[in-house]
Structure 1
């Protein structure tokens, strides 16, 4: 009677091939998921600055021209995770722009800059989904 004590080379090669195919399918999905997750921080910061602009307008009858007027410190404002810089311009209207920095700029090339203005126009639209 003969007993097997391991895997054959063919079994090992089939397993490696299956793992390679799975990795080729899963990795792009993973990087897209990570990019969208980091984009959420940029979108939240855009909405925060837009709300602060509206609050500033109620108090001063004009929009802030400097991020320091919104009590955010630096100009431009850097998000908590450091992947976006957010800047706002305007007096009678405003536009808030988030620009991807570092690794986020390479991971999420379709949404390097995201904007919202005083009438609620969000561009590019696919980045807000």
Structure 2
């Protein structure tokens, strides 16, 4: 009788991830998320504020053009321009303290902008170019 050894098929390579590899990956994703989400939120807040400031400057330019035509400022925004969507969903913009020689443009945050932008809060701009805030930050960092 011929005794031949049983031949085993070659071992298959193991596929997939071990539990340790999976847990390390989850931990890395968690750390990156903890850093990225607050940074992104602050970026969005600054972008929204910048859009409101740009609109306020555009309104100020329109007020000066209106002054040249009518010899007075107007408190009616619709005489000047309409609010852009990216501003109106985060700020309520109004013109107040209007006299023949003065006005104040105010951008009051709403919704998430109000809740998350406590540093700057309400933005103001006068006919003299004076900028203001209602938050606990500084005018130079908010403008």
Contact 1:99-1:114 within 8 A present in 2 as well:
yes
How many angstroms apart in 1 are the aligned matches of 2:104 and 2:123?
10
> TM-score w.r.t. structure 1 length?
0.82
Provide Cα deviations, 1:39-94, integer angstroms capped at 9, x if missing partner: 222112101111111112222222213324x343xxxx644222211111211211
Where does structure 2 lack aligned partners over 5 or more consecutive residues? 1-10, 134-138
Where does structure 1 lack aligned partners over 5 or more consecutive residues? none
1:107/1:78 Cα in 2 relative to 1: closer, same or farther (>3 Å)? farther
Given the alignment of the two structures, is residue 67 of structure 1 paired with residue 73 of structure 2, yes or no?
Answer: no
Given the alignment of the two structures, is residue 80 of structure 1 paired with residue 85 of structure 2, yes or no?
Answer: yes
Higher percent of residues as helix: 1
The answer for the alignment partner of 1:47 in structure 2 is: 57
How many angstroms apart in 2 are the aligned matches of 1:104 and 1:79?
16
Tell me how large the CA RMSD over aligned residues is: 1.9
How many angstroms apart in 2 are the aligned matches of 1:119 and 1:71?
18
> Which has the higher relative contact order, 1 or 2, with Cα contacts under 8 A spaced 6 or more apart?
1
Deviates further, 40-49 or 59-68: 59-68
Structure possessing the higher radius of gyration over alpha carbons: 2
Q: Secondary structure at the match of 2:119?
A: helix
> TM-score w.r.t. structure 2 length?
0.75
Give, in angstroms, the shift of residue 26 of structure 1.
0.7
